[in-house]
Amino acid sequence: MVMASVIGLGKAGLPLAATIAESGIKVVGIDVDEEKCRMINQGMNPIPEEKGLDELIKKHGGKNLIATTDYWDAERCNLFIVIVPLFVDSLHNPDFSIMESAFRSVGRVIKEGDVVVLETTVPPLTTETIVRRWLEEESGLKLGQFYLAHSPERIMTGYSLSRLREFPKVIGGVDRKSGEMAYDLYKKFIPNLHLVSNARTAEFIKVIEGCYRDVNIALANELLKIAEEIGVDFYEARKYANHEYCHIHLPSTGVGGHCIPVYPWFLIKEMEKREKFEKARLLRTAREVNDEMIDYWIEKLVLECLKVDKPLSEVKICIRGITFREGVKETYHSRALAIVQRLREKGLNVGAFDEMFSPKELEEMGISPMKPEDADIVFDTFNLKFHTRA
């Protein structure tokens, strides 16, 4: 009989745990947040913006899905899925401290024959090296006595449940037997699953998806600036340039969130470590182009301010939309938030409005709330449009 434990009940882990419970498998969810565990066990969804999750938590919370802060509550489980955050520091190096703590805790409760799967997106080689070491050191077992695989999450916040049910997902083991064991278990709750050669390949697949998006967004951003320089409507050109063999992405304020601006650095840093700098030139350039887009939009915004018949410092500027993506209540690496902060540093009168945040929440983030109708200039960061009061 399969019993699963999901370590990390965040925006990726909780929908996965609920999906597993819905398949009829008992799940022990582990999280450091006691209040979140309490809510789940009472059938209350701590992530209300996730479509369809309310119903599953109400149905399974405290029943097929038990949430706890104690790893020993999962000692009867034979499948352990770790999906905890991996942050990067100011130099873009991954900080494995949260992940190491989770895996060492798992290592203390796993038994011979158990399967452990990492779902957090990580630099290639991570699962087969440091994750394996952490588990072996804590458990006293060797690979082969337990099984280890990687299956990168491929969800999209707000649509996680449908992604888990429909979107292609890959899984690969540190060795062949691990891959086969993990695949057989995952097939019980992931319909569209593909077994790949090994964990390293599974890790690489997820990372290069992010690289593809980052590079293509950088291309769109650069083409937008060139089109403006030569007097071409970028959006008209894009409309007719796109066809079966060409897909120009939409431009943006840059790239935000936990994924796309982070993953290219995994490969860039690996090539730097090997002193193969020339092998990641495009990835580094794309990162620079996208991060520099805030300078482009700030310049355009200041030019709009100069059209208003007021001293520059008195022009009221409203940045509409500060999340990294519309409809997602997250500001991690948000380029719009960076624009707010940069304008404030310049001494301009800037505030923000976002449907996802209350005025009080904005104030707690150190941002002045401002209604669009009260502003002289509104910059809509999702549609990249300026609205200037006549």
Catalytic positions, please? Answer: 206, 259
CA 107 to the chain's CA centroid:
26
**40 vs 55: CA distance, rounded Å:** 12
**220 vs 93: CA distance, rounded Å:** 27
Which residues in 45-168 belong to E strands, given as ranges? 65-68, 79-82, 87-88, 94-95, 115-118, 147-150
State the DSSP H helix or E strand holding residue 317, giving kind and residue range, or none if neither: strand 316-320
Look up residue 61 and give its amino acid. G
**43 vs 65: CA distance, rounded Å:** 9
Interacting residues of 359 by C-beta distance below 8 A, sequence separation 6+: 369
Could you tell me which of 118, 152, 140, 142 has the C-alpha nearest to residue 258? 152
Contact 2, 24 (CB under 8 A): no
Interacting residues of 314 by C-beta distance below 8 A, sequence separation 6+: 349
Within 231-292, where are the H helices?
Answer: 234-241, 263-273, 281-291
**144 vs 152: CA distance, rounded Å:** 22
Quote the crossing angle between the two packed helices 263-273 and 199-230, to the nearest 10°.
110
DSSP percent split of the chain into helix, strand, coil, nearest 5: 45, 15, 40
Could you tell me which of 275, 274, 284 has the C-alpha nearest to residue 124? 274
Strand 3-7 with 26-30, pairing = parallel
Contact 44, 57 (CB under 8 A): yes
**268 vs 279: CA distance, rounded Å:** 8
